[in-house]
Structure 1
Amino acid sequence: MDNWYEIIVDTNEDILQTIDRYIVEKGWESAVIVNAIGSVKDLVFATPIRNELPLKVGSTPCLGAAEILSFTGEVMKKELMDEDLKAVYPKTDSPLFIHIHASCARAGGQVMGGGLRGGRAFRKLRIFVRPIK
């Protein structure tokens, strides 16, 4: 299939930094992340702490190794980002906003998920992405 790309995150590499670097190098203004497969470790998820708007989130750590179950999102230049999300996601030096929802399975079949705030590849993570024109 044309216009599909694969981002490889190798052992111990930072997931969000690898995505950021790849998209910046490609010069894309926006992209959709369709899914990923692989193993991860020490993820941090943004999860709601109350059931009302404006959205308030806390950080939920997922320590240790896990298998990715779902991984979907969007990447765009910050000037294209939804104003409400600017208060939710921490500022970075990157020109991009990376917005990914993910879930993973840990030892014993425990499933965790939320908005991905950080983490690393355990063995390897393959991310499937397509630029938006």
Structure 2
Amino acid sequence: MSNIARVREIYTAFASGDVPTILSHLREDVIWEYDKQDAGIPWLVPRHGRNEVPKFFQALGGLDLRKFQPKTLLESGNIVVALNDIVFVVKATGKEVVEEDEVHIWHFDSDGQVTKFCHKTDTHEHWVALRGS
């Protein structure tokens, strides 16, 4: 299976709420949000280890996800880059975030397991929506 196929499988599992399938693609020592500092945005907190990743999905419970559309997947070696259109509303504030071409970067090991992952987003827009300002 190619790494693009793996990412597609992960996104299909995400769309159906199948967290165990997503976790099965992650190495035990996965680094989630490998490029982020904790800016107080619950769904963008850096996490280390497969057992920490479910907290990301729990944090998504504070959002009303209205659109998640993977548009383009690009693969080079053990890296897959995905461009996604995403729209969500922060439930606590009613503020909407619209991300066109939000970038996801997936790194895989030679066994096809995710070693690290990150979202490239407008972090400030997420923070503002969370704060309701």
* TM norm structure 1: 0.27
More helix by proportion, 1 or 2? 2
Higher relative contact order (CA 8 A, sep 6+): 1
More strand by proportion, 1 or 2? 1
